Amino acid sequence: MLERAISRSSVYLGVAGVASIAFGAITLFWPGISLVALTALFGAFTLVYGAFALASGLNLLAHRSTDWVPYVLGGLAGVVVGVVTFFAPGLTDLTLIYLIAAWAIIVGVFEIIASLDLRDVVKGAGWLTASGVLSIAFGVLVAARPGTGALAILWLIGAYAILGGATRLYAAYRIHGVESDVKRAVATTMQPQS
């Protein structure tokens, strides 16, 4: 049962990674994006990311795993930030930058907590830690220097989203690999000894 929960969680993490890479690519390759379009894009990204993190946490909760809390809290943070960006489309540049920085720090903290919970179960949990550290570093950097210039911030947001998405994808791949390791181990122990 835990095997299925881990497998589903890895799929949710992988989809969140793909969403992050897509958001980063659009931000990098569309440098003339308007603030309204960037706000809507960021809101959609955080909603998707938050929904999949929330689904992962609820999936773990349904399978009676105790590791559900960071996923649910991180997912709720993503959903709340996404909703705020949609209901306040007139955000200023500075407000949007602080919102992105806060979201990155919150997600980073919960990814590190989740990776610590999984470290004894999953070999690839360190990649989730790397993603969390990257998120926190990005959030702190952007919050500390919000006036660096719109283009520099866009490049930083795009690069962070792609790197963060790639580490989440790799973590999902490693976590998903645990499922096949468990199946092999169970199959080996179930075979009659001669």
Does residue 194 sit within a domain? no
pLDDT (tens digit per residue) in 115-170: 887 777 667 677 778 888 988 998 898 888 777 655 677 777 788 888 888 887 87
String of DSSP letters for 45-102: HHHHHHHHHHHHHHHHHHTT-TT-HHHHHHHHHHHHHHHHHHH-TT--HHHHHHHHHH
pLDDT at 190: 55
Range of the domain at 156: 2-187
Question: Which residues, in sequence order, are CB contacts of 132 under 8 Å at separation 6+?
Answer: 107, 108, 109, 110, 111, 112, 114, 115
Measured between alpha carbons, how far is 123 from 155 in angstroms, rounded to an integer?
Answer: 32
pLDDT at 74 over 60: yes
- Span 2-26, mean pLDDT? 76
pLDDT at 193 over 80: no
Would 23 be classed as within a structural domain?
yes
108 in any annotated domain: yes
Q: Which residue has the higher pLDDT, 55 or 7?
A: 55
Q: Is residue 193 part of a domain?
A: no
pLDDT, tens digit, 9 for 90 and up, residues 30-44: 767 766 677 778 788
What are 34's two structure tokens?
A: 């308007």
Q: What is the pTM of this model?
A: 0.60
The CATH number given to whatever domain includes residue 70 is 1.25.40
pLDDT, the chain, mean: 76
Q: What percent of the chain has pLDDT over 90?
A: 2
Residue 83's pLDDT band, with cuts at 50, 70 and 90, is confident
Q: Range with the lowest mean pLDDT among 16-25, 28-37, 96-105? A: 28-37
The one-letter amino acid code at 170 reads Y
pLDDT band, very low/low/confident/very high, at 20 (cuts 50, 70, 90): confident
pLDDT (0 to 100) of residue 157: 79
pLDDT at 89: 67
Using the predicted structure, report yes or no on whether residue 185 has a pLDDT greater than 60: no
Looking at the domain assignment, is residue 192 inside a domain?
no
Does the residue 52 lie in any domain? yes
Percentage of residues of the chain with pLDDT beyond 70: 73
Nearest Cα to Cα of residue 75 among 40, 41, 99, 111:
111
Tokens found for residue 152 = 């520099």
Per-position b or e across 102-127, b if 16+ CB within 10 A of its CB: ebbbbbbbbbbbbbebbeeebebbeb
- How many domains does the chain divide into? 1
